[in-house]
Amino acid sequence: MGEASLIVGASGYVGRAVLARLRSAGVDAVAAVRSDAQDLGERILLDSQSSLDRALASDRFSQVVHLPQLTRDDVDWVIDRVDGPRWVVFSSAQVASTVPAPGTSLARAREQRVLGRGGIVLRPTMIFGRGTDRNLTRTIRFLRRWRIPILVGDGTQRIDPVHVDDVADLIVNLSGRTGRPDLYEIGGGCPTPVCELLATLCEILGVRGAQIRVPLSALRFAARAARVAGLRPDQVLRLVEDKTADDSAARASLAWFPAPLPHRLEQAVAEALSRR
């Protein structure tokens, strides 16, 4: 088997970051995508199951990273090909939420299939950075434009966001070694109340003024009317839920240490504003 990485779903937000980081680290990384993307460099078009089978049957790839969400309807044929710890399959911390969401049970079942076939499952929390995520970058741009810090609930709910560069670094770490097959929670290592994180972003951006709080009663009403705004009710209700991770196993077993959150937040602000 060679020393190369095959990145399934490389055209997405996390996929592009992982692909670029692997290549910058000197790893032979190949994109595996459903539709051709000329800007990804060397790539394999997954236009059939046999195209993936041919790639996996070669001795080239010592690592296979699967990034598409496990809630999707079209990932079973890929999951069925997991063949040991060279496979790193991304899930999401959302599947552990107490708020029911479409596809959650199916995603958990797929996690177990990956583990049963000897693969590694990563459950990242909120991924942000590089100015292209739909999480903190949206908040940063809203604050920059409107100068109004809006807080949902009382702000005591904790989140543990992880920068996409740290996620990519974890994949680089795993590219040169075999991790122990297990499910690993992935966070930024600094669970923080939302009110404190918002205050930090305001300080970096120079936004003054008290936080405007949206009460839970308004949130519950919004959950009932969420589809009118193009959201699902479960997406609204999760806004006041803790989103943290116990990443101690990832640190100990995978030799992974994310950068401090304050540094990553300053980086994220610079990235968000530079892409305006």
Q: pLDDT in tens for each of the 276 residues of the chain?
A: 567 999 999 999 999 999 999 999 999 999 999 887 778 999 999 888 999 999 999 889 999 999 999 999 999 999 999 999 999 999 999 999 988 788 999 999 999 999 999 999 999 999 999 999 988 999 999 999 999 999 988 999 999 999 999 999 999 999 977 678 999 999 999 999 999 999 999 999 999 999 999 887 777 777 677 665 666 778 777 888 999 999 999 999 998 999 999 999 999 999 999 976
DSSP conformation class of 128: E
Burial 38-77 (b: 16+ CB within 10 A, else e): eebeebbebeeeeebeebbeeeebbbbbbbbbbbeeebee
Residue-level pLDDT at 224? 73
Amino acid at 199: A
Domains annotated for the chain, with CATH where assigned, are 4-274 (3.40.50.720)
Of 243, 213, 238, the residue nearest 223 (C-alpha): 238
For 90, the token pair is 């991304």
Other C-beta atoms lying within 10 Å of the C-beta of residue 247 = 24
Q: Would you say 96 and 127 are in contact if contact means Cβ atoms under 8 Å apart?
A: no
Tokens 């918002």 correspond to: 198
Q: What is the per-residue pLDDT for 275?
A: 78
Q: Looking at the chain, list the stretches that DSSP marks H as alpha helix, in order from N- to C-terminal side.
A: 13-24, 49-57, 76-79, 104-116, 136-146, 164-175, 194-205, 216-224, 233-237, 248-254, 261-274
Two tokens, residue 247: 């990443």
pTM over 0.85: yes
209: which 2 tokens? 């003024």
Query: Distance between CA atoms of 186 and 82, rounded to whole angstroms?
Result: 21
